[in-house]
Chains A and B, each alone.
Chain A
């Protein structure tokens, strides 16, 4: 039912959208998602009071031979994901009514957005891996459609394709994981897998499955080495970036790993590898974010980096910390993206921060809410990001050993995060205006600022769902992780204060450094950036990873395909056939100095074959 509502809306808009006209199609789509939210909240209420049990609803048989039905799991984990998706989703839909104003394919945009929400819900509500995979691929489709929504721009079309194909490479890993799961468990259903995992899986098998799931998750959630599609995906309209590439779809990888917790638990290797990939990605992407000029690219790399934190958490078995950060990140990153969209809107589609500055006075609501988002992501208490990021760092610290190294990486990343976000805020909203005279920045309409305000409020209070003092979220989610050993941050006031103090110090240091570096005339901070020399341009170019992939994978691959097609398939294989054909024709024409009529040569072959067989039979039967 929760899925059906946005799906029905998408279908309806597909056929009648243009007739309904501009704002109404958008409002209808928003209402559908908000309706799902209400339904999800209603159906999820029993879990909040702690009295409900996870339920499974079968819709219909799908592929019985491989143990796949269309079946829904309704447990705390799926409730949480549903509420995030529909809640944040509804706000972004509303915002998009303003943002997409005047676009000639306005209602089409909402068809895709609704379809996305339905797909994402399919993913998180699925009761088996086959259906999860369906949602998994469908969100990829929607991402493709929405990234290349402005398909007349070749970069947008290429970005959509790149996103889909890179995701497919990850999916290959996921698909193989599903094969292994089916081979081991004889089913793909969650119930049949997770309860029996300890009896069925050896630790080697668990490692293999875990690592393959990681490959899939790394594709969808943009982790090293498959993150390259996400920055390009910023070519899509900004509400898309906020919904798909910040708040929901990209977190699917985190969700899958958390869902498969009981498999990861059986492997001594898979979890640490996930955590390491996460930490490495967090640091890697944060350094790239430092040097970006494009307001959306900063946020894109920031998203990759924050997803790295979530991977660090779920890899360290701190699933609840990971999901907690997933939730708060959905709030503040959606806020930041929508804020950035508001700025781009005001600046007549300018995305280069070099050409902004001083916008605070012109768009007070956007500036205030963006400031809240920046503080939240920087990890300054008491805003949301502080609590969730701190819990992740606490978990890593508590695990000790190799995880201590990852903890330090996380701490450094926190400093960098605060730096690049503050840099962005200062470059956009403070200092002297650097835009050209014909641009007239203005505050966005209320339909856009209202979601900003709501998300800002959530970014402020979102952290209190799960503080060391009040572990509401943890209690709520625990039933979904029955039988799994969850990792927790260290106990006790003193440890908390010490760790929190360290990470707050890192955040404040980063923010302060950026503030003093950039809250100056432009030539001064430009000189500051130049002081880093080639390192800065390496960061700005994203370590030239795209070029490297192009030279090492794309180009040789294409060459191989060409060689196969034109140097092998045509001349060698087809050549052999044609050669044989010529031979036959020569023989035939010599034999009967006449035109080699087709039917005749057919007859020759036919008769020859029959004679051969009869001869053989006589010989055998002899």
Chain B
């Protein structure tokens, strides 16, 4: 089934390829329709997935090249499951939001579907070489999406995006090969299989070097301060669909990779690197927020807010506590939903006004009440208002990190105040008051298509905010398992109450 999940979008791309070039009116409808198939399958995956279990499920493994120990090896656990589903959900939405694209539309749809195949592959791959192949394969469609359908400085942004990531990838590639070679020496035969590599005894200095190589590659993706400068450019230039997928999914490759590979494969090095990673995370939280305050461009503002929000995920991850780690995984999803929605919304106003500058707007709430309402709702989800999704991740990260990293957690909490400042100030300038500019006075409110696109995201914001159990039941066991392994293989013991078992619940024993 997991294989089908990867193959389906690729087949969908093929179907789109078969549409005759003259029938351009069909590209988008067919693209959206075929991309519903992976979504349906992802829904089925959610049902099939057994909640409460920690390990990999629905594992598939076929040896591809035995001498290297390279295999088609897929599996899903609580950490990857939400990201797979999010990907399958956001692709049809982004496609349906791309009505403004007319130039080379067919290729656009195909690239987006190929991107989906790669993204799902990355999250499911349990063979490191396979992971790397997908990781690289993503770059190509994304590069073209930014480079062909982007804004004025699209080439600059695309090249910057590509080179930044390729630089990280090269290091990671080296580290992956090194791992396989070490495995070959220790166990007799080289292997790229994640589960085999877990048991590998790597000497300390090697494991630190490998940790650093992986961490650098992922830190670029996240992006962590000071490796973040590709992100604002890429976002500002990318078309709406590109921005949505970039922010919602691509960045999560970084945080996902940190949990899966850095914590998983190099437990001791992870413990050793906590001071650096946590410090950079907190700097990112505050720095991203401060820079976001004064951005004149809506997309840039949201891009810097991503730097800040993803800092929370990294902080939670390297707090090495139950609440922090699970909160980080949840925040992965939440950030995908809210930031995805924000970029969709910015795209919708851009399609109408052809500008993203906050100063060009003003009084929009009056002319576009539904649009303004959804925007405000999403802003509050992003600020971390309790009852909506953003709060769950942020609050869990903050409270959960505190036992391990009290000072970091307290500083990070200030990011919550800054988020309110930059988002509400932007809202005030763009939406309140009286629409004075004539171009703003006749704007049309959301149409039915746009409402349908936003509805699932808005609903998810509410559901996860009020009933996060749907996610936590699946995420928490896997997060616990990561910590179990770290505690089992190193001297590290999570400070109380950093583990689920140490938390007092009322209701128990009453």
A574 to B230, CA, bound (A): 8
CB distance from A153 to the nearest CB of B (A): 8
Q: Which of A48-82 contact B (CB under 8 A)?
A: 56, 58, 60-67, 69, 71
Of the candidates A158, A165, A581, A616, the one whose C-beta lies within 8 Å of that of B163 is A581
7 A-B pairs closest in CB distance: A609-B170, A157-B432, A613-B174, A134-B386, A186-B497, A187-B504, A179-B402
Taking the nearest CB of chain B, how far is it from the CB of A165, in angstroms? 5
Tell whether, in the assembled complex, residue B402 and residue A183 are in contact, meaning their CB atoms are under 8 Å apart: yes
Collect the chain A residues with CB atoms within 8 Å of residue B410's CB.
Answer: 176, 179
Binds A, one of B27-35, B116-124, B274-282, B393-401: B393-401
List of A residues within 8 angstroms of B396 by Cβ:
63, 65-66
**B115 interfacial by beta-carbon distance below 8 Å:** no
Interface status of B366 (Cβ within 8 A of chain A)? yes
* Residues of A in contact, count (CB < 8 Å): 79
A105 to B445, CA, bound (A): 17
Tell me, rounded to whole Å, the shortest Cβ–Cβ distance linking B445 to chain A.
14
B413 at the interface (CB under 8 A from A): yes
Nearest B residue to A141 via CB reads: B385
Minimum Cβ distance to chain A for residue B418 (Å): 9
Q: Is A175 interfacial (CB-CB < 8 Å)? A: yes
B-binding residues in A (CB < 8 A): 56, 58, 60-67, 69, 71, 127-128, 130, 133-135, 137-138, 141, 144, 148, 151-154, 156-158, 161, 164-165, 168-169, 171-172, 175-176, 178-180, 182-183, 185-189, 191-192, 558, 560-562, 564-566, 569, 573-574, 577, 581, 584, 598, 601-602, 605-606, 608-610, 612-614, 616-617, 620-621
A151-B365, A152-B433, A152-B434 in contact; A62/B416 too (CB < 8 A)?
A: no
- Which of chain A's residues have a CB closer than 8 A to the CB of B469? 60-62
Nearest Cβ in chain A — how far from B44, in angstroms? 26
Assess whether B56 is interfacial by the CB under 8 Å rule: no
Q: From the candidates A64, A179, A584, A612, name the one contacting B503 in the complex (CB within 8 A).
A: A64
Residues of B within 8 A of A182 (CB): 399, 402-403, 497
Q: Are A581 and B424 in contact (CB under 8 A)?
A: no
5 A-B contacts (beta carbon < 8 Å): A182-B497, A584-B163, A606-B170, A609-B173, A614-B177
Nearest residue (CB) in B for A575 is: B229
| Binary contact track B335-355/A, C-beta < 8 Å → 1, others 0 | 000000000000000000000
Any A CB within 8 A of the CB of B151: no
**CB neighbors of A among B359-373 (8 A):** 363, 365-366
CA–CA, A133 to B399, complex, Å?
13
Q: How far is the CA of A144 from the CA of B504 in the complex (A)?
A: 35
If A191-B510, A616-B174 are given as contacts, then 14 extra A-B residue pairs at C-beta distance below 8 Å, sorted by A number, are: A56-B507, A63-B392, A67-B504, A172-B414, A564-B287, A564-B290, A565-B290, A569-B229, A584-B163, A613-B173, A613-B174, A613-B177, A616-B178, A617-B177
Q: In the complex, which of the residues A154, A168, A178 contacts B399, with contact meaning CB atoms closer than 8 Å?
A: A178
B contact residues around A608 at 8 Å (CB): 170
Verify if B159 is at the interface (C-beta below 8 Å from A): yes
A558 touches which of B174, B293, B468 (Cβ 8 Å): B293
Chain A residues whose C-beta falls within 8 Å of the C-beta of B365 in the assembled complex: 151-152
Q: Does B440 contact A (CB under 8 A)?
A: no
Establish whether residues B424 and A65, one from each chain, have CB atoms under 8 Å apart when the complex forms. no
**B residues 464-506 touching A (CB-CB < 8 Å):** 467-469, 472, 476, 496-497, 500, 502-506
Q: Say yes or no: B293 contacts A561, CB within 8 Å.
A: yes
> CA of A161 to CA of B229 in the docked complex: distance in angstroms?
30
Determine, out of B94-102, B251-259, B319-327, the stretch whose residues face the partner at the interface.
B319-327
Whether the pair A565, B160 counts as a contact (CB closer than 8 A) is: no
**B-chain residues with CB within 8 Å of residue A609 when the two chains form the complex:** 170-171, 173-174
- For A175, the chain B residues whose CB sits under 8 A away are 398, 413, 416
Closest to B291 in A: A565
Tell me the complex Cα distance, A192–B502, Å: 13
Evaluate whether A138 and B413 lie within 8 angstroms (CB atoms) in the complex, with A581-B160, A605-B166 already known. Answer: no
Asked if residues A183 and B504 are in contact (CB atoms below 8 Å), the reply is no
- Asked whether A565 lies within 8 Å of B294 as measured between CB atoms, the reply is yes
Knowing A168-B417, A179-B406, say if A617 contacts B178 (CB, 8 Å).
Answer: yes
0 or 1 for each of B431-456: is its CB under 8 Å from A? (1 = yes): 11110000000000000000000000
- CA–CA, A169 and B469, complex, Å: 30
Query: Is B295 located at the chain interface by the 8 A CB criterion?
Result: yes
Known: A130-B395, A182-B402, A186-B496. A192 touches B417 (CB 8 A): no
B402 touches A574 (CB 8 A): no
Quote the shortest CB–CB distance from A563 to chain B (angstroms). 9
A570 closest partner in B (C-beta): B229
- Report whether A183 and B406 are in contact in the complex, using a CB–CB cutoff of 8 Å: yes
Count of interface residues, chain B, beta-carbon cutoff 8 Å = 81
CA distance A178 to B229 in the complex (A): 35
- Select B506's contact among A127, A577, A610, beta carbons within 8 Å: A127
CA distance A602 to B158 in the complex (A): 13
Docked complex Cα distance between A616 and B500 (Å): 42
- Say yes or no: A154 contacts B433, CB within 8 Å: yes
Whether B142 is near chain A, meaning CB under 8 Å from some CB there, is no
Q: Which residues of A contact B505 (CB under 8 A)?
A: 64, 67, 69, 187, 189
Closest-by-CB residue of B relative to A179 is B402
Q: Are B503 and A137 in contact (CB under 8 A)?
A: no
A601: chain B residues within 8 A (beta carbon): 163
The answer for the CA separation of A157 and B365 in the assembled complex, in Å, is: 11
Does chain A have a CB within 8 A of B54? no
Is B428 positioned at the interface, with any CB of A under 8 Å from its CB? yes
User: Is B72 an interface position by the 8 A CB rule?
Assistant: no
Residues of A within 8 A of B431 (CB): 151
A192, closest chain B residue (CB): B504
Are B476 and A65 within 8 A (Cβ)? Answer: yes
Shortest Cβ gap from A98 to chain B (Å): 25
User: Whose C-beta in chain B lies nearest to the C-beta of A140?
Assistant: B385
Q: Is B69 an interface residue (CB 8 A)?
A: no
Residues in B with CB closer than 8 Å to A65 are 322-323, 326-327, 396, 400, 472, 476, 500, 503
Residues of B148-171 contacting chain A, CB below 8 A: 159-160, 162-164, 166-167, 169-171
B421 CB-CB contact with A under 8 Å: yes
Minimum distance in angstroms from B146 CB to a CB of chain A: 12
> Which B residues, 372 to 387, have Cβ-Cβ distances below 8 Å to chain A?
380, 385-387
B294 touches A561 (CB 8 A): yes
Within the complex, the shortest CB–CB distance from A370 to chain B, in Å, comes to 33
Give the complex CA separation of A560 and B425 in angstroms: 16
**Bound-complex Cα distance A137 to B381 (A):** 12
Cβ contacts under 8 Å, A560 to chain B: 290
Instruction: Judge whether A138 and B432 touch: CB under 8 Å.
Output: no
The yes or no answer to B55 lying at the interface (CB within 8 A) is no
Q: Given known contacts A141-B385, A169-B417, is B400 in contact with A66 (CB within 8 Å)? A: yes
Q: Does B181 contact A (CB under 8 A)?
A: yes
List, in ascending order, chain B residues with CB within 8 A of A171's CB: 416-417
B174: which A residues are within 8 A, CB to CB? Answer: 609-610, 612-613, 616
Pick from B163, B230, B395: contact of A63, CB under 8 Å: B395
Q: Specify which of B290, B387, B395, B420 is in contact with A561 (CB 8 Å cutoff).
A: B290
- Residue numbers in B under 8 Å from A179 (CB-CB): 398-399, 402, 406, 409-410, 413
Check A562–B178 contact: CB distance below 8 A: no
Please name all residues of chain B whose beta carbon is closer than 8 Å to the beta carbon of A133 when the two chains form the complex: 386, 395
List the B residue with the shortest CB-CB distance to A136: B386
- Determine the residue in chain B with the shortest Cβ distance to A574: B229
Q: How far is the CB of A148 from chain B (nearest CB, A)?
A: 7
List residues of chain A with CB within 8 A of the CB of B467. 60
Shortest distance from the beta carbon of A132 to any chain B beta carbon, whole Å: 10
In the complex, residue of chain B having the shortest beta-carbon distance to the beta carbon of A182: B399
In the complex formed, the residue of A with least CB distance to B432 is A157
Tell me the complex Cα distance, A154–B229, Å: 35
A156 to B433 CA separation, bound complex (whole angstroms): 9
**Cα distance, A180 to B402, chains bound together (Å):** 8
Contact present for A191 and B506 (CB under 8 Å): yes
* Most chain B beta carbons < 10 A, residue from A65, A135, A183, A558: A65
Q: How far is the CB of B223 from chain A (nearest CB, A)?
A: 11
User: Chain B contacts of A161 at CB under 8 A?
Assistant: 424-425, 427-428
